[in-house]
Structure 1
Amino acid sequence: MKIIAGLGNPGRGYENTRHNAGFDAIDRLAFKYEIPLNEVKHKSICGSGFMGNERVLLMKPQTYMNRSGEAIAKALHYYKLKPSDLIVVFDDVNLMPGQIRVRLRGSSGGHNGMRSIIYCISGNVFARVKIGIGKEDGKTLSGYVLGKFTRAESVLLDEAYSNAVSAIELLISGEADRAMNVFNKKVKAGEKEDL
């Protein structure tokens, strides 16, 4: 079994904001695999189902971003899973809008949700799919990440969510190296990688 958690903030006021890219990617994954997100447990909105032969739990923690680790640690403990059974999808201001990056371990990179997860599970060896949201000079970081996507960004992010789903599929099927080879290249906005 694998846990796939998308990071974001709960509530209508945060819908379609840059910081909720992880939630949006989970929605895309749930739609593709017909996994209803209709359970409330582990301080999260969840859905369980299968991706191929692998049982998965999709999670959207409802703890607010800075406490995402509480929900994820609770789920890992409940299912007696290791951090290596976890895939986290989240926004990254250090990537251009629409880019994605796959990593199997690492630091928080300054992301508060990731910092919370690393602290709560006492480790950093778990897969992550980063979705680029870029950053804008002259705006505070919090003001930027909590802002809504522009129309042009939304087009790029739509493709990024599809690519994130493809990356997660490769991770689930044990093809982490391929996922990194395909998605960690510097790709110009609007270009598509062949799988």
Structure 2
Amino acid sequence: MKLIVGLGNPGRKYEQTRHNVGFVVAAKFAAIILADPSKSRFEGEWAEGMVGGEKIAVLCPHTYMNASGQSVRKAVDFFKLDPEQILVVCDDLNLPCGRLRLRPSGSSGGQKGLADIARHLGTEAFARLRVGIGRPPDGWQVVDYVLGKFNKSEEDTIETVTTRAAYAGIDWINEGIMPTMAKYNAPSPETGSK
């Protein structure tokens, strides 16, 4: 079994915000694998499906971004998962909008959801797929930027990159971390981002 975790904040006021791209990717991933309808489980939204004969779970914690580890830990403990069976998808303001970066482990890089998951699991040795949202414009507070919605010029790029990220999740399951990194860490041909 493998677990895909999409990070974001629950509630209508956070829908389609930059901080919620993890939820968007998770929903697209669940649709691609024809996962069962989601239900409330492990303090989050939970769905299950199959990829290549392997059971796959999709979790969107509803504990809010900064407490994501609480939900993830419950799922990990219940299914007795190892860290290498987990892929966490989140936003990253240090990557240009439309860029993906997949890593097998590493620091949170200031992403509080990743940091909380690492704290709850006691390790940073889980895969993470970061979706670039770009830096805030001059004069913007970071919190206002990440909790804001994408502007019109970013919408097509985000639509493309979140779909690409969902397929990166499929490839991570089927091909493993290294081939998937080689494929998706390069600039996207659709967006031309670097």
CA displacement at 1:73 relative to structure 2: 0.7
- Per the alignment, residue 21 of structure 2 pairs with 21
- CA drift of 1:37 comes to 4.1
Alpha carbons 2:48, 2:58 under 8 Å: kept: yes
Following superposition of structure 1 onto structure 2, how do residues 24-173 of structure 1 map, counting pairs within 5 Å? Answer: 24-136=24-136, 137-173=138-174
Q: Is the 8 A contact 1:44 1:61 kept in 2?
A: yes
Alignment partners' CA distance in 2, 1:37 and 1:156: 27
Cα contact 2:35–2:48 (8 A) shared by 1: yes
- The answer (yes or no) to whether the contact 1:97–1:189 under 8 Å persists in 2 is no
Q: Is the contact made by 2:29 and 2:167 (CA closer than 8 Å) also made in structure 1?
A: no
> 1 CA distance for matches of 2:152 and 2:31?
22
Residue deviations 1:79-113, cap 9 Å, x none?
01111110000000011111111000000100110
| 2:93 aligned partner, one-letter code | V
2:124 partner letter: N
> Scaled by the length of structure 2, what TM-score is found?
0.94
Counterpart residue identity of residue 13, structure 2: G
8 A contact 2:98–2:188 mirrored in 1: no
Please tell me whether the aligned partners of residues 37 and 45 of structure 1 are also in contact (alpha carbons under 8 angstroms). Answer: no
* 51-60 or 107-116: bigger deviation: 51-60
- Contact 2:14/2:147 (<8 A) preserved: yes
> CA offset at residue 188 of structure 1?
7.1
Q: For each residue in 1:44-92, what CA deviation from the matched residue of structure 2 results, as whole angstroms up to 9, or x when unmatched?
A: 1100111222211100100000000000011000001111110000000
Return the alpha-carbon distance in structure 2 between the equivalents of residues 160 and 103 of structure 1: 17
Gaps of 5+ in 2: none
Q: Quick one: distance in 1 between partners of 2:180 and 2:120?
A: 27
Q: Structure 1 CA distance, aligned partners of 2:127 and 2:54?
A: 16
> How far did residue 186 of structure 1 move?
3.9
Query: Hey, what's the Cα distance between the residues in 2 that align with 1:24 and 1:36?
Result: 17
The letter of the residue matching 1:74 is: K
- How many residue pairs get aligned? The number is 192
Q: Quote how far apart the aligned CAs of 1:115 are.
A: 0.7
C-alpha separation in 2, matches of 1:151 and 1:4 = 29
How many Å apart are 1:39 and its aligned residue?
1.3
Identity of aligned residues (%): 36
Q: 1:185 Cα deviation (Å)?
A: 2.2
Give the corresponding residue for 2:11: 11
